[in-house]
Amino acid sequence: MKFGTKAIHAGVAPDPSTGAIMTPIYQTSTYVQRSPGDHQGYEYSRTHNPTRTALQDNLAALENGKYGICFSSGLGAIDAVVKLFSPGDEIISTNDLYGGTYRLFTKVFERYGIKFHFVPMGDPESIADYINENTKMIWVETPTNPMMNIIDIAGVAKVAKAHQLILAVDNTFASPYLQNPLDQGADIVMHSVTKYLGGHSDVVMGALVLNDDELASKLVFIQNACGATPGPQDCFLVLRGIKTLHLRMERHSQNGKTIAAYLKNHPKVAKVYWPGFEDHPNHDIAKKQMRDFGGMISFTLVGNKLEDAKTVMENFKLFALAESLGGVESLCGHPASMTHASIPKEEREKVGLVDSLIRLSVGVEDAEDLKQDLANALSKI
């Protein structure tokens, strides 16, 4: 099946008891057994739930993977991956990544003796300089949050394979529609399902997709043993959202291109970060591994004044100032004080995350209305 067909049909089937075309919400905690251990594949809803099973199968198909594993949040999914490792193990991560991931790595797992190295990954071959006998995994985001850096997944996969390391890729910004890391050599794909997969700002969830049987068995064990599982109502909402993923991502990408071009030519904008520009670092890699460039954009203001950034965001009418991204409605955020506040200022600024940087999640509204909203807000500074 092609992507749009998989989004609607993969992993789901009409309910056999009623013919209902939508997957039922199995709002149950437990399941009746005929005899001890003699059940119909379901015992307890932390372990398995039919609505969650349908979603996991659907997600696996979208990423061209064998296994989908859902969690109650994106951070819950990342937490499960890091629990594969032991004290003394080391993980190499990109140096520009979601602040919650950085916080989980440094404030939680470093306390248990796992060491993290945050390094630039524009050139995959440079990663080898940080690998030693304790290194177990490379963690990649691409495009990165919020600087929109592009990392060559196939290039990093080559390095990981040469050193027998696990390669995990956070594919949240791209979604499975724009990019499929497993096809590029990754071992694990992570999604904050909250974002583009759900797509309607009404659910919080995370997911992992992979092909390796042994890794999947370990992660399914952690999913059940640690219990960070989503409920059936949330799974239903995501299944519904995914049915229009291909349509939404096409519009997000179209609008993203329009808004990025508008901002690049605005006299009050200093720099625009969007991988569709030919002068964007690793633009050629983005063209190779992505189907389009998406609707995530970051930009800074001339003069780099925090107060100017606040003024702009306070005067938006359509770009809502809020955490998160990937919904049908346009959102804006201030990473330095919101999503990335847990990262020390000096570390933020090393990668270009300055105080005037504004991150946009361009929605699916009419692009001309969004341009007018930007024009009005920028006119206030």
List 52, 195, 248, 257, catalytic entry? 195
List 31, 42, 46, 350, catalytic entry? 46
Question: Is 195 an annotated catalytic residue?
Answer: yes
Task: Pick the closest to residue 63 from 72, 55, 53 (CA basis).
Answer: 55
Strands (E) located in 257-319: 269-273, 296-301
Q: Which residues pair with 271 in a beta bridge?
A: 300
Question: Is 152 an annotated catalytic residue?
Answer: no
Task: Pick the closest to residue 204 from 216, 196, 192 (CA basis).
Answer: 192
List 26, 98, 102, 177, catalytic entry? 98
Q: How far is CA 191 from CA 41, 68, 275, 375, in A?
A: 27, 11, 20, 33
Q: Is the peptide bond before 146 cis (omega within 30 degrees of 0)?
A: yes
Is the CB of residue 98 less than 8 Å from the CB of residue 325? no
Phi/psi for 345 (5° steps) reads -55, -45
Question: Is 170 an annotated catalytic residue?
Answer: yes
List 170, 187, 292, 355, catalytic entry? 170
Question: What is the SS3 assignment for 102?
Answer: helix
Is the CB of residue 193 less than 8 Å from the CB of residue 203? yes
The 3-class SS string of 234-274 reads: HHHHHHHHHCCHHHHHHHHHHHHHHHHHHHHCCCCEEEEEC
**Site of tokens 């001339």:** 302
Rounded-to-integer distance, Cα 176 and Cα 283, Å: 19
Q: How far is CA 186 from CA 126, 176, 331, in A?
A: 18, 13, 30
Contacts of 85 (CB under 8 A, 6+ apart): 91, 114, 136, 137
Tell me which residues are annotated as active site: 46, 98, 170, 195
